[in-house]
Amino acid sequence: MKLMRLLRSSLAVCFLAGALHLHAATYQFPELVRVVGADNKHIVGAVKSETGESLGVLDLKTGQTLTYAKASIRTLGRRLSDRDAAQACGSARLLAWKIQQVLPQNQIVGKVASLDQGTIYTTLNAKMGISKDEALSVYRVSKEIRDPDTGQVLDRERRKIAKLVVTEVGERVVKAKTADDLEIEIRVGDEVEPVKQSRAVAILPATDLAGNVRASGKRFSEELVSSLTELGVAVVERSQLDRVRGELALQQTAAFDGDTARQLGKLVGAFAVLTGTISDDWVTMQNTLLRLVKVETGEVIFGAALTSGTGVPSAGIVGTPSISPMPDSPSASVRPQGSQNAAARAGQVVAWGMNKSGQCNVPAELRNVVGIAAGRNHSMALRSDGTVVAWGDTSKGQAVVPAGLKDIIGIAAGYSHSVALRKDGTVVCWGENESGQLNVPSTAQGKVAAISAGASFTVVLTKAGTVVAWGKNNVNQTRPPAGLATVIKVSCGAHHSIAMKRDGTLVAWGLNENGAYNFPSNILAPRAFAGGWGQTAIVQPDGSIAAWGYDGYGAIRKRPNGNVGAVAITAGESHIAALKSDGTVLVWGDNGQGELNVPGGLNGVVRISSGAFHVLALR
């Protein structure tokens, strides 16, 4: 219970688009650090300035900028991960800071040029989009914080002193009058800006997998709005959002396609809209996914995956756990191009490796993808509207999606069979059934929270935290240990399965040849884990990789050393792949089919999945 409370109170945030595309430029967030000063006070913040003798840090908790003499710093932890920062200051606070960073900083700001008998002349003009009767705010700079060595202005403190109303708009000057009684006299040089700046953010209610607004979603949204406000980011009022939602006849659901989200954003005057899903229980906590969408263009400014400390959903050799839907992305392309912006890439599936059955031939029309799963020689994609697309080997019908299949929230792929999870907790299987891998037990229907698939068997996690399995059982792969309970995640290898319990311990069953799951007893609460062809791979809490089992292709001995910043992992027959927190992908093992040839420039990835000899990535 102690571990559960700890994890629940500190959702780790993995921003899977560390390099964000803004106006065809790459955005890099400032470095995150942990500082212990001479007063023994601990802070986690972002570096704002640095010289040989001093370090300026924005405290993420308080929003204050602190300047340290380096000689007085007792402890300095550099290049802090988003995960560690979130644990220190809270997920909502870190996300709010990220949003503040990517929003345009070029606010419309003018100055008071002249004062004449009640008329205030400003340097604002018609080209700035100012209109008659628009409200303006007047600010006075009270303090400038400068770098002692370079003289560069690091930050400014200012206070609001008056409100104005525009009376006349000219090509070079905007005239205004005061809107209330002045307590402080306006001076030439005071700063003037529109009250309604174009960078306000609309926070749509985060929902669970079924589209319901739950307590966790409400709480997170409230914390995020509060944090944004404290950081000076304009947020659209909840009452205004609710009114417009009512006018558009929108229900309290996350099923916003890109156009609907943008339409709502335009009506409330927002620059960007944050929308997505957040899970309300431990079984599906890893399915929390958010996207910040630019209203004007539909560009996905960045995507964020929040997890309970177990990592974003990872993929087994032939499948993935349940994948939650995300809002529609504006468009998707099947080939990565360095010149593409985020709007063109959002929801895009990229594939590489063996292609003898067309498993890497991503359909050209495939768009709005939120989940992926790779089988031995076929591939699957889950779209945000709850439908499924499959391609590759169809010899057993594994890539022939049942007609009318809808309301899907999770997919998994076996060697020659496919599995889908509906939002009502029922499971649908198709493809080869030689070992009964399609025969879903009636006792499980309606109770399933997550799914995974092995070579010729299927495993599901129920909402009660128990595991049910069916299909081939020649090595006990469908026989979970008696009494197994409080499970929060499952992943299948080809002939074995791994489950993580609520206390962070791992349990495995099935074929253990070559020590596929002889993991040390001190392994606890890994960020992510996956079963492969006779091996198990995990992401340690510090972002490093560990693996055990069959090493005929070198996937065990060739794994990268140290903290590589991994947040998710997937294992194939010949290789292991990891997703890094910066949105890039690492693959190691054998390259006989091009499995290791990650496409150049691939970034912004939010999910990965491995087939036997091919890899899928979703960005």
Mean pLDDT of the region 382-389: 90
Q: Is the domain of 354 the same as that of 404?
A: yes
User: Distance between alpha carbon 576 and the CA centroid of its chain, in Å?
Assistant: 22
CB under 8 A, 24+ apart: contacts of 166-169 = 166/130, 166/131, 166/132, 166/133, 166/134, 166/135, 166/136, 167/119, 167/132, 168/132, 169/125, 169/126, 169/130, 169/131, 169/132
- The per-residue pLDDT for range 537-557, each reduced to its tens digit, is 999 888 899 999 999 899 999
Q: What is the pTM of this model?
A: 0.56
Query: Given a cut of 70, is residue 297 above it in pLDDT?
Result: no
Tell me what percent of the residues of the chain surpass a pLDDT of 90.
Answer: 39
Written as six digits, the tokens of 40 are 């023994």
Cβ(288)–Cβ(332) below 8 Å: no
Distance CA 255, CA 567 (A): 26
The pLDDT assigned to 9 comes to 35
Sole residue written with tokens 């709010």? 96
Residue 254's domain spans which residues? 1-30+90-103+197-308
User: Distance between alpha carbon 483 and the CA centroid of its chain, in Å?
Assistant: 34
Least confident span in 157-166, 264-273, 331-340: 331-340
Mean pLDDT of the region 480-508: 92
Query: CA dist 188 to 128, 178, 314, Å?
Result: 20, 15, 59
The pLDDT assigned to 453 comes to 96
Total structural domains within the chain: 4
Q: Is the domain of 367 the same as that of 488?
A: yes
- Whether 322 is covered by a domain: the verdict is no
The pLDDT assigned to 13 comes to 43
Q: Which residue has the higher pLDDT, 440 or 290?
A: 440
Q: Is the domain of 201 the same as that of 280?
A: yes
- The per-residue pLDDT for range 556-576, each reduced to its tens digit, is 999 999 889 888 999 999 999
Cβ(591)–Cβ(597) below 8 Å: yes
Q: Is the domain of 121 the same as that of 66?
A: no
Cβ(456)–Cβ(415) below 8 Å: yes
Which of 134, 165, 194 is the C-terminal boundary of a domain?
Answer: 194
Mean pLDDT of the region 382-393: 93
Q: Which residue has the higher pLDDT, 265 or 443?
A: 443
Q: How confident is the model at residue 18 (pLDDT cuts 50, 70, 90)?
A: very low
Q: Is the domain of 253 the same as that of 368?
A: no
Q: Is the domain of 369 the same as that of 467?
A: yes
Q: Is the domain of 44 the same as that of 68?
A: yes
Cβ(570)–Cβ(613) below 8 Å: no
The pLDDT assigned to 462 comes to 92
CATH assignment at residue 168: 2.40.10.410
The pLDDT assigned to 323 comes to 27
Q: Is the domain of 119 the same as that of 205?
A: no
- The per-residue pLDDT for range 322-362, each reduced to its tens digit, is 222 222 222 222 222 233 334 345 578 999 999 999 999 99
Q: Which residue has the higher pLDDT, 417 or 300?
A: 417
Q: Is the domain of 276 the same as that of 372?
A: no
Q: How confident is the model at residue 296 (pLDDT cuts 50, 70, 90)?
A: low
Segment holding 482, helix H or strand E: none
Q: Is the domain of 287 the same as that of 395?
A: no
DSSP symbol at 195: S
- Whether 325 is covered by a domain: the verdict is no
Q: Is the domain of 256 the same as that of 371?
A: no
Query: Given a cut of 60, is residue 318 above it in pLDDT?
Result: no
Q: Is the domain of 579 the same as that of 610?
A: yes
What angle do helix axes 215-230 and 91-102 make, rounded to 10 degrees? 50
Q: How confident is the model at residue 387 (pLDDT cuts 50, 70, 90)?
A: very high
Strands 201-203 and 272-277: parallel
Segment holding 581, helix H or strand E: none
